[in-house]
Structure 1
């Protein structure tokens, strides 16, 4: 059986990893052209799975083995997915743990500086540093921070028998508050 050629996005993803780290990579092709490609990674003792599908992009498994569950993080672009895996590997080298995406890491993935975000929020750079390093913040502050970089906040509640998105702030009151503040 011949193996299909690797899609361009997967090649770009692997190249992004290998440009920065000695990564062991195994790629499992789907049985159907529109199917899911599995990419198994090992970088400095960190093992992770990445799922790629042309219509969805790269799904990173950052909590446990990916088989049987959903990816915790999804990236449309190979460069961003590769950069995130390299962030995870750097964190792994420090304490052999996976870490959720923090605001600083998110800002770096998007190529934004603290000054860029500060200008978008009409704050100073020192305040952005405090927000990124803060252990506790208001959800509204986080929503504003993400909006300054073009994003939105989604929260999910997980229970033993189900998980569902939650809306922590009434969207009508939130819009009114943001308009009033402007």
Structure 2
């Protein structure tokens, strides 16, 4: 059985770069709200103050797998970011 590192190591440099770039995109897509908050060097207490809710609410929010877009937008904006929603359909430009 071959190891992934061996297979990737045999790819041309341009292809390796593409594979690495796509891997980073996929990893970025899987970040949790907690991961993003920590990357922004913010604590749950700081987020709670910014959103005017309790720290326990931040903890629960970060564990949710489903939430309203308005909640997600508020959370992202409290970290200094912006939230964008794009719908993609076959044979249509993104909406």
Question: TM (normalized to structure 1)?
Answer: 0.39
> Is the contact between residue 157 and residue 163 of structure 1 (CA under 8 Å) also seen in structure 2?
no
Number of aligned pairs?
86
The structure with more strand, counted as a fraction of residues: 1
User: Which residue pairs with 1:61 in the alignment?
Assistant: 25
Offset at residue 127 of structure 1 (A): 0.2
CA offset digits 1:122-163 (Å, max 9, x no partner): 111110011111122111111111111101110111222235
- C-alpha distance in 2, partners of 1:130/1:163? 36
Greater relative contact order (CA < 8 Å, ≥ 6 in sequence):
2
Who is 1:157 aligned against? 87
Q: Specify the alignment match of 1:126 in structure 2.
A: 56
Contact preservation (8 Å) 1:104, 1:132: yes
Aligned structure 1 segments of 4 or more residues deviating by more than 3 angstroms: 38-41
TM-score (norm 2): 0.69
Q: Does 1:50 align with 2:21?
A: yes
Structure 1: segments with no counterpart, 5+ residues: 1-23, 30-37, 42-47, 52-59, 63-87, 89-97, 166-182
Please give the alpha-carbon distance, in whole angstroms, between the structure 1 residues aligned to 2:93 and 2:36: 24
- For 2:35 and 2:92, locate their aligned partners in 1 and report how far apart those are by CA, in whole Å: 29
Structure 2 residue 41 is matched with structure 1 residue 111: yes
Q: What is the SS of the residue equivalent to 1:127? A: helix
Greater helix content? 2
